[in-house]
Amino acid sequence: MPSVTFTVRWPDGQKTAAYSPSTVIHQHLKHNVSYPIEEFLQRAETALDAASERVREVKGFYCSAAMDTLSQLRQISRSFSRGEVHVSFTQTP
């Protein structure tokens, strides 16, 4: 199962490398698109849950790395005002 690494650029310009164990992430987050932070978190949660489920279907267990990524994204997002914040998703090569 191919994994995906992507970069999240936060409103303050900092970047976070993030991991998905499945390409299903591309169905939920698009390359070079900005999202309001709440929408980004909802999309990331849906995508990473689906990615972890795909791992379970193939290997028989959920992917803890996908949940670690989601936890990291949630933690960082707490630093920003939810009403005005946008996050850019950029696929890394």
Q: What is the pLDDT of residues 4-63, one digit of tens each?
A: 888 898 888 888 989 999 989 999 998 888 899 999 999 999 999 999 999 999 999 999
Q: In the β-sheet with 4-9, what is the strand arrangement from edge to edge?
A: 15-20, 4-9, 86-91, 33-36
| Domains of the chain by residue range | 4-91
Please tell me the distance from the alpha carbon of residue 45 to that of residue 43, in angstroms, as a whole number: 5
Give pLDDT, residue 31. 85
Give pLDDT, residue 51. 96
Collapse the DSSP code of 80 into the 3-class scheme (helix H, G, I; strand E, B; otherwise coil) and give the result: coil
pLDDT over threshold 50, residue 84 = no
List, for residues 63-75, the tens digit of each pLDDT value: 999 999 999 999 9
> 49 CB contacts (<8 Å, ≥6 apart)?
66, 70
Please tell me the distance from the alpha carbon of residue 74 to that of residue 2, in angstroms, as a whole number: 24
Give pLDDT, residue 19. 93
